C-alpha cells in the first residue's frame, strides 16, 4: 500500500500536467487564424449600408464578404445592391454566381427572372451536359463521380476477392452506379465548360474587330447579356454572343466562375 504522501505527490503532478496541457491548448488556439465569422464583418456592414440607402458602399462590402467567404447569401445581397445602384449587369452576374453555389435557392431564380424581364436579355444557352451540371452544386458532382466509381469497382471486385457468389443485385447495383458515374462525368465536363460563361457589365459594351482600343466596333451588347470567352489577348477577350463575336475589354464583363 502506497503512503499518503505518495498519493499527494501524484495528485500535485497530475494537476501540474493538467495546467501545462491547458496552457499549451490555449496557446495553440490563439495561434490558429480567427474564423471568418470573427474577422469578416463585411456582410454586416453591407446590410447596414443597404438599410441606409448607401448602395455603392453596400456593394463594396458585399463584394469583399463574397471574396472572403463565398456564400449565396452575400452574392444575393450583392446583386440587390448592384441593381439598386443601376448596375444591371453586375446584379445579374452576382445572382448567377449565387445560383452556381446554391442551385436550389429559389431567390436567385426569382431575381434573375425579374431582372431579365426588365432588361430584355436572355439566359445563357446551355448544352445538354451543361444543363445536367446545374442539377447539383459543382462540388457535389466531383464527389459523386468519385463515390460511384469506387462503389462500382467494389461491387465487381469484392465478391471475387472473398470468393463469394455474385448475386443478381450485385450486377444490377453495379450497372446503376456505373451509369451515375458516366452521368457525373458529363456533368463535370459541363461545369468546366460553364466556367467560360460570362456576363456583360457595362451598358452598350463594344465588340471590336481587333483587340485594340482603336479597333473597329462590330456591334454593341447590353448589360447582363451572356457571352462565352474563347481566348485572351492583353486586356481583351474574344467572346461569342447571341448576335455575333468580337473582342471585349476584360473590365466590361465578369466570369460566372472567376479563378
Q: What's residue 86's pLDDT?
A: 94
Q: What's residue 156's pLDDT?
A: 82
Whose grid coordinates read 473582342?
247
**Nearest to residue 221, comparing CAs of 92, 60, 55?**
92
Q: What is the pLDDT of residues 69-102, one digit of tens each?
A: 889 999 999 999 999 999 999 999 999 999 999 9
- Residue 26 reports pLDDT greater than 50: no
- Residue 3 reports pLDDT greater than 60: no
**CATH assignment at residue 239:** 2.30.30.40
Do 23 and 88 sit in the same domain of this protein? Answer: no
Q: Is residue 192 a part of any domain in this protein? A: no
Per cent of the chain over pLDDT 70 is 81
Q: Is residue 124 a part of any domain in this protein? A: no
Give me the mean pLDDT over the 189-208 stretch: 94
- Residue 25 reports pLDDT greater than 60: no
Number of separate domains in the chain? 4
Do residues 226 and 119 lie in contact, with contact meaning Cβ atoms separated by under 8 Å? no
Record the cell numbers describing residue 125, joined without a space: 444557352
At 17, the pLDDT band (50, 70, 90 cuts) reads very low
Do 72 and 105 sit in the same domain of this protein? Answer: yes
Residue 219 has phi, psi (to 5 degrees) of -165, 175
- Residue 258 reports pLDDT greater than 90: no
The order of strands in the sheet holding 253-255 is 217-221, 205-208, 245-249, 236-240, 226-233, 197-200, 253-255
Do 141 and 158 sit in the same domain of this protein? Answer: yes
Q: What is the pLDDT of residues 133-188, one digit of tens each?
A: 999 988 899 999 999 999 988 888 877 766 776 667 778 888 899 999 999 999 99
Q: What's residue 169's pLDDT?
A: 72
Q: What is the pLDDT of residues 33-59, one digit of tens each?
A: 444 443 368 999 999 999 999 999 999
**CATH assignment at residue 114:** 1.25.40.10
Q: Is residue 108 a part of any domain in this protein? A: yes
Q: Is residue 180 a part of any domain in this protein? A: yes
The CA–CA distances, whole Å, from 106 to 61, 72, 80, 99, 151 equal: 24, 11, 15, 9, 33
At 11, the pLDDT band (50, 70, 90 cuts) reads very low
At 259, the pLDDT band (50, 70, 90 cuts) reads low
Domain boundary among 167, 187, 207: 187
Q: Is residue 239 a part of any domain in this protein? A: yes
- Residue 205 reports pLDDT greater than 50: yes
More confident of the two residues 35 and 29: 35
Do 64 and 105 sit in the same domain of this protein? Answer: yes
- Residue 24 reports pLDDT greater than 60: no
Range of the domain at 82: 37-119
Do residues 62 and 93 lie in contact, with contact meaning Cβ atoms separated by under 8 Å? no
Q: What's residue 208's pLDDT?
A: 94
Do 108 and 139 sit in the same domain of this protein? Answer: no
Record the cell numbers describing residue 143, joined without a space: 464527389
**Radius of gyration of the chain, Cα coordinates, nearest whole angstrom:** 27
Q: What's residue 112's pLDDT?
A: 96
Do 231 and 244 sit in the same domain of this protein? Answer: yes
Amino acid at each position: 500500500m502506497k503512503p499518503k504522501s505518495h498519493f499527494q505527490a501524484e495528485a500535485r503532478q497530475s494537476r501540474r500536467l493538467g495546467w501545462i496541457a491547458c496552457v499549451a491548448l490555449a496557446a495553440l488556439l490563439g495561434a490558429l487564424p480567427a474564423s471568418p465569422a470573427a474577422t469578416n464583418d463585411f456582410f454586416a456592414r453591407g446590410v447596414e449600408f443597404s438599410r441606409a440607402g448607401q448602395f455603392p458602399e453596400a456593394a463594396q462590402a458585399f463584394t469583399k464578404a463574397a471574396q472572403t467567404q463565398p456564400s449565396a447569401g452575400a452574392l444575393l445581397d450583392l446583386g440587390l445592391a448592384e441593381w439598386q445602384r443601376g448596375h444591371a449587369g453586375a446584379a445579374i452576374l452576382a445572382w448567377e454566381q449565387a445560383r452556381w453555389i446554391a442551385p436550389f435557392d429559389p431567390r436567385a431564380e426569382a431575381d434573375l427572372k425579374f431582372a431579365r424581364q426588365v432588361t430584355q436579355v436572355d439566359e445563357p444557352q446551355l448544352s445538354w451536359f451543361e444543363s445536367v451540371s446545374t442539377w447539383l452544386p459543382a462540388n457535389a458532382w466531383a464527389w459523386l463521380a468519385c463515390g460511384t466509381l469506387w462503389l462500382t469497382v467494389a461491387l465487381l471486385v469484392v465478391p471475387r476477392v472473398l470468393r463469394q457468389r455474385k448475386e443478381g443485385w450485385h450486377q444490377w447495383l453495379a450497372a446503376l452506379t456505373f451509369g451515375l458515374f458516366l452521368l457525373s462525368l458529363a456533368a463535370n465536363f459541363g461545369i468546366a465548360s460553364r466556367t467560360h460563361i460570362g456576363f456583360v457589365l457595362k451598358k452598350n459594351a463594344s465588340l471590336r474587330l481587333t483587340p485594340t482600343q482603336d479597333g473597329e466596333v462590330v456591334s454593341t451588347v447590353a448589360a447582363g447579356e451572356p457571352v462565352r470567352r474563347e481566348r485572351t489577348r492583353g486586356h481583351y477577350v474574344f467572346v461569342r454572343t447571341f448576335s455575333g463575336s468580337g473582342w471585349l475589354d476584360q473590365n466590361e464583363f465578369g466570369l460566372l466562375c472567376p479563378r
